[in-house]
Chain A
Amino acid sequence: MSRRARLWLLAPALAGFLGLLVWGMTGLPGSGDHQGAVAATIARTAVPERHATNVVTTVTLDYRGFDTLGEEMILFSAALGLVVLLREQRGERKEEVDDDRAAGRKAPGTSEGLRIFSLALVGPTVLLGLYIVAHGALTPGGGFQGGVILATSLLLVYLSGKYLALRELTPIPALEAGEALGAVAFALIGLGGLIASGVYLHNFIPLGTPKTILSGGTIPFLYLAIGLEVAGAFMLTFLEFLDQTLLVRSRSGG
């Protein structure tokens, strides 16, 4: 189909869809004017029930915690699928390549400023990631957000120009094990609720005092499991993409 024909096909479909969308949206109450009954109820009952001050966390890990288990499994299987998709194909080999392929010209090295700055940022980034994971029940943040921050520490090491040294030091089996452990830990904590009270993911440990780091019962532990899983999954993803760009070449060269 030509580009023009595709546009002619798209135009009426998109116009019809937008018409329906606008028609539907005019039936909604204006943004900011209306509070839903569920929202109002949860905002009042979440803190007394779960002792976690971050209500978004309580919704994610308690009221719809089972949903989050599915979400975690999506992330887990996607990281797995990515590793399979980007595995070394037949006719490919891994080797270190110069970024600059012009003959007789060497790729410029990483500048000292970038190298020092990015290496100096690794420690604070890991600390921030752990802080965000640990405080998910109290303030904005949690396992998903903190896990991604933890994974970016790997990109900082890459920016400092030490990727190949990092590649040899990175314990890939440990990353894979950490990812799997995080996913399993979430499911097992859920089973704890099933054993203690007959309801999957139901809280079965003391709720603690609100506004302290262990408040919320199982919530801090669930977020720890998610943090581990997300950090492992994203680090594996980053490593696979960096490998593709920096190492994998077809055997015929190029």
Chain B
Amino acid sequence: MSGFLPYAVAAWLFAAGIYGMATSRDLIHLVVCLTVAQSATYVLLLGVGYLHGAAAPIFADIGPNTRVVDPVVQALTLTDVVVEAVVVSLLLALAMQAHKRFGTLDPDDLRAMSS
């Protein structure tokens, strides 16, 4: 059953992040919740690629026939991290401009002002 623990953690992280986003009272907090939800994909990808007793896929100091964990999902995780950094920086910039214009970071107050 321990083989499903990474998947359970990924599902939990995703749900916790979504819940945080839906109930957020602060745009910065909302962006952090998004990163929590997105980190679920890292856990899921690395969990899928993990192999018991295998080494990291770096053949600098291990023999060429050593069992290694999946390098493909690790490369996907790298892409995932870069995209997350980009999304977060753009969202934080938008939050900053929203705060400048409306003087608040509460999403509910933002809606009240635009209507």
Contact = CB atoms under 8 A, between A and B. Distances in A.
Given A25-B4, A33-B52, A139-B58, A39 B71 contact: yes
A42 B22 contact: no
A55 B59 CA distance: 8
B9 to A, nearest CB: 10
Interface in B1-58: 2-8, 11, 14-15, 18-19, 22-23, 47-52, 54, 56-58
B97 A56 contact: no
Contacts of B71: 39, 42-43, 46, 55-56, 58-59
A77 B70 CA distance: 31
Contact of A3 (B23, B51, B52): B23
B70 A39 contact: yes
Contacts of B5: 31
Given A18-B15, A67-B79, A140 B58 contact: yes
A81 B74 contact: no
Interface string B58-86: 11100011011111111100110111011
Contacts of B56: 140
B11 to A, nearest CB: 5
Contacts of B100: 89, 250
A85 B99 CA distance: 13
A74 B75 CA distance: 16
A32 B57 contact: no
A91 B79 CA distance: 39
Contacts of A32: 3, 50-52
A86 interface: yes
Contacts of B96: 86, 241, 244
Contact of B90 (A17, A42, A60, A82): A82
B82 A71 contact: yes
Interface stretch (A6-14, A108-116, A180-188): A6-14
Given A32-B51, A54-B60, A85-B94, A21 B78 contact: no
Contact of B59 (A34, A53, A78): A53
* Interface band, chain A: 35 or more
B57 A28 contact: no
A182 B89 CA distance: 20
Given A240-B93, A244-B96, A55 B11 contact: no
B97 A86 contact: yes
A58 B75 CA distance: 9
26 contacts: A6-B22, A6-B23, A18-B11, A28-B7, A30-B4, A31-B6, A31-B7, A33-B52, A38-B70, A38-B72, A39-B73, A42-B71, A43-B57, A47-B64, A54-B57, A54-B58, A55-B59, A59-B72, A60-B78, A71-B79, A78-B87, A78-B90, A82-B89, A144-B82, A211-B60, A237-B89
Interface of B: 2-8, 11, 14-15, 18-19, 22-23, 47-52, 54, 56-60, 64-65, 67-75, 78-79, 81-83, 85-87, 89-90, 92-94, 96-97, 100, 108
Q: Which 6 A-B pairs have the closest CB atoms?
A: A30-B3, A39-B70, A59-B75, A55-B57, A55-B71, A78-B86
